Chain A
């Protein structure tokens, strides 16, 4: 069931108990977890945090850690699967689920005792009515009873008619139910960021601070960067957070009232779609950010020229542009943003900026929310063998704390490597024309021997690659239709077991985040008997045996044509 008063129905319930917190592998979940940790620490709520990569691990973790645990909080996992059926929990266990994955499983929605959904009621759920989904099971029984009973025949005939009528009704109802379910589960999409929900909780408890707000902001920005939120919804959410920002950073800035530099300040600003430029050089950032790179078609000689022309038009010397942003001339650094946006308009990059936030603390640390998202994600999906995946998850969790700036800086470097790899892969795929229009969708396959293949064995990085590729393809393609095509990208996951990771993303022209690949993948797998694993909480990301790839995609094409 949906929780209406998150404080009363969730927080006050768990405040003196031990809580098991299961956290999925995405930046939003990490931020939400951070906020919740802070709240729990204030109130001495004992908790256990376990990182969760997928459904299987969810089951394992629950089995292992559930002893004597009565309350389980799930962050960005568990919402879209039938929790009670999957985990078979004891009756006293209560689940609190803050999950941005949609659609929410209907059993979770209608279970009043054990499953509590921490999702804002303002979200658009389109939950079908209870009566359309569930019927009390009496009618099932009487068909059985009837046949056994030895009632007189006349009565029986009348009863038979009744039964027939009832059966017909039931069949109709079942068909309708099926249709409703089909419609409800057709698309997978995303709802409000979990970090924002947790921040909301903190605010309602008057425990909000700039740190918590920042995590909320980073959570939302994660959704924006990874295309998990529609533009309109993003604007509304940013508006909400902006109000909080103003409230928490409201100070009379006169001489007597200055804040120490070590305090964190957050302010709203228009941010450029230039990834990490504050920590890179402008030149590199332009090259590696999908929006400007695709606008200029950076992979062509002409595109390169055009970019140089663009820089010249801005009046920035190449030497300045190519050196670290922090070392650029003071004057240029200050006026750069104005110049940049002006030139962007001229060159048709109208969409270069978006509303976002910047945090500043100390003399050195000025971070914009998007950069933090890239850095945290870079750290979380680090492919170095030094630590396990969960180890990097914890590193990523650490780097969100202000005192661990060093880890965040490492994350920035890792993010740069990720972006560089993505950019190079996109360029080579465009050059070699390896992005194929398979008819109903675009398709790209990263071959086994590709040098950077390990980067794309992580879902978020593969997702970024898919979106970049799609944008690049659309930019080069002459056909109008290409904007209407969704895209599927597959990359090898594990050479030993011969498995591949497959992701599907909606068409470029599509405004919403609705993604129909979850169901399509499922169907195609069933039709072809492909060995697939739908382990990710995102249904549009699956694992499969590489050998089954071709038959799977044939089926997918025929399914979607």
Chain B
């Protein structure tokens, strides 16, 4: 049946768990496009024949047209949903993606991601006017209750330089009392654990 390959792309996305992206299925997309090309050419031919007076071709054209529309929808949805996930990843993983996720992206997606990064950064810088110094929107996702928080290292992270220039060694199982703003990212990345 027409459209099967396109739906397969969608199913692939549907099956992959939250927070992951399956490899960009370039081959699948090419096959769908090929199917669409054939559909289009056949329709073109049938329409020409009908204009020339051949009867009974309409149902076929109708069917193929529906298949074309369906394929288009699936392809667009495939691209759109991948982009949505990629955008969510910017907020979850930060501006640098883990290499094996990046490996699964298409060239255009990588470009899109870096452009999204740039515009987000530019927007955050612009908040508060030119002298305001900007606002990091990815921070304080929960309203902060205190300036400092206690954190525990869950893995060896190496040295970490705080904003005031002090250097800390984040070694597994060491516990630190730090400014919240400085370690929130590391907590989100699972390097540190927030101890209440």
Give the chain B neighbours of A49 by CB distance below 8 A: 174-176
Give the chain A neighbours of B147 by CB distance below 8 A: 44
Nearest CB of A to B120, in Å: 31
Q: A51 and B150: CB pair below 8 A?
A: no
Q: A41 and B177: CB pair below 8 A?
A: yes
Question: Pick the contact of A18 from B152, B166, B174 — CB < 8 Å?
Answer: B166
Nearest CB of B to A401, in Å: 8
Whether B141 is near chain A, meaning CB under 8 Å from some CB there, is no
Q: A394 and B166: CB pair below 8 A?
A: no
Question: Pick the contact of A47 from B167, B169, B177 — CB < 8 Å?
Answer: B177
411-443 of chain A: CB within 8 A of chain B: none
Question: Pick the contact of A41 from B150, B166, B172, B179 — CB < 8 Å?
Answer: B150
Q: B167 and A44: CB pair below 8 A?
A: no
Whether A48 is near chain B, meaning CB under 8 Å from some CB there, is yes
The residue of chain B having its C-beta at the shortest distance from the C-beta of A387 within the complex is: B173
Whether A45 is near chain B, meaning CB under 8 Å from some CB there, is yes
91-146 of chain B: CB within 8 A of chain A: none
Q: A47 and B173: CB pair below 8 A?
A: no
Q: B167 and A394: CB pair below 8 A?
A: no
Q: Complex: how many Å from CA A394 to CA B150?
A: 13
Q: B177 and A46: CB pair below 8 A?
A: yes
Whether A141 is near chain B, meaning CB under 8 Å from some CB there, is no
373-417 of chain A: CB within 8 A of chain B: 388, 390-391, 393-394, 397-398, 403
Give the chain B neighbours of A398 by CB distance below 8 A: 195
Whether A67 is near chain B, meaning CB under 8 Å from some CB there, is yes
Q: Complex: how many Å from CA A398 to CA B172?
A: 16
Q: Complex: how many Å from CA A51 to CA B150?
A: 16
Nearest CB of B to A50, in Å: 5
Nearest CB of B to A330, in Å: 36
Whether B1 is near chain A, meaning CB under 8 Å from some CB there, is no
Q: Complex: how many Å from CA A403 to CA B167?
A: 32
The residue of chain B having its C-beta at the shortest distance from the C-beta of A47 within the complex is: B177
Q: Complex: how many Å from CA A167 to CA B116?
A: 83
Q: Complex: how many Å from CA A395 to CA B166?
A: 28
Q: B173 and A64: CB pair below 8 A?
A: no
Q: B150 and A37: CB pair below 8 A?
A: yes
Q: A46 and B174: CB pair below 8 A?
A: no
Q: Complex: how many Å from CA A134 to CA B150?
A: 44
C-beta contact mask, B27-53 vs A, less than 8 Å → 1, else 0? Answer: 000000000000000000000000000
Q: Complex: how many Å from CA A68 to CA B167?
A: 7
Give the chain B neighbours of A393 by CB distance below 8 A: 173
Whether B77 is near chain A, meaning CB under 8 Å from some CB there, is no
Question: Pick the contact of B168 from A48, A388, A390 — CB < 8 Å?
Answer: A48
Whether A65 is near chain B, meaning CB under 8 Å from some CB there, is yes
Q: Complex: how many Å from CA A323 to CA B166?
A: 57
143-171 of chain B: CB within 8 A of chain A: 147-148, 150, 152, 166-169, 171
The residue of chain B having its C-beta at the shortest distance from the C-beta of A391 within the complex is: B173
Whether A184 is near chain B, meaning CB under 8 Å from some CB there, is no
Give the chain A neighbours of B167 by CB distance below 8 A: 67-68
Interface size on A, as a range, is 20 to 34
The residue of chain A having its C-beta at the shortest distance from the C-beta of B149 within the complex is: A41
Whether A325 is near chain B, meaning CB under 8 Å from some CB there, is no
Give the chain B neighbours of A51 by CB distance below 8 A: 173
Whether B178 is near chain A, meaning CB under 8 Å from some CB there, is yes
Whether A40 is near chain B, meaning CB under 8 Å from some CB there, is yes
Nearest CB of B to A60, in Å: 10
Q: B175 and A394: CB pair below 8 A?
A: yes
Give the chain B neighbours of A46 by CB distance below 8 A: 148, 176-179
Most chain B CB inside 10 Å of its own CB: which residue of A37, A48, A394: A48
47-90 of chain A: CB within 8 A of chain B: 47-51, 64-65, 67-68
16-52 of chain A: CB within 8 A of chain B: 18, 37, 40-41, 44-51
Q: Complex: how many Å from CA A51 to CA B167?
A: 19
- Could you show 28 A-B contacts with beta carbons less than 8 Å apart? A18-B166, A37-B177, A40-B177, A44-B147, A45-B177, A46-B148, A46-B178, A47-B177, A48-B174, A48-B175, A50-B174, A51-B173, A64-B169, A64-B171, A65-B171, A65-B174, A67-B167, A67-B169, A68-B166, A68-B167, A388-B172, A390-B172, A393-B173, A394-B152, A394-B173, A394-B175, A397-B175, A403-B196
Known: A46-B178, A47-B176, A64-B169. 20 other contacts (CB 8 A): A37-B177, A40-B177, A41-B150, A41-B177, A46-B176, A46-B179, A47-B177, A48-B175, A49-B174, A49-B175, A49-B176, A50-B174, A50-B175, A51-B173, A64-B171, A65-B171, A67-B167, A68-B167, A388-B172, A394-B173
B contact residues vs A (CB 8 Å cutoff): 147-148, 150, 152, 166-169, 171-179, 195-196
A contact residues vs B (CB 8 Å cutoff): 18, 37, 40-41, 44-51, 64-65, 67-68, 388, 390-391, 393-394, 397-398, 403
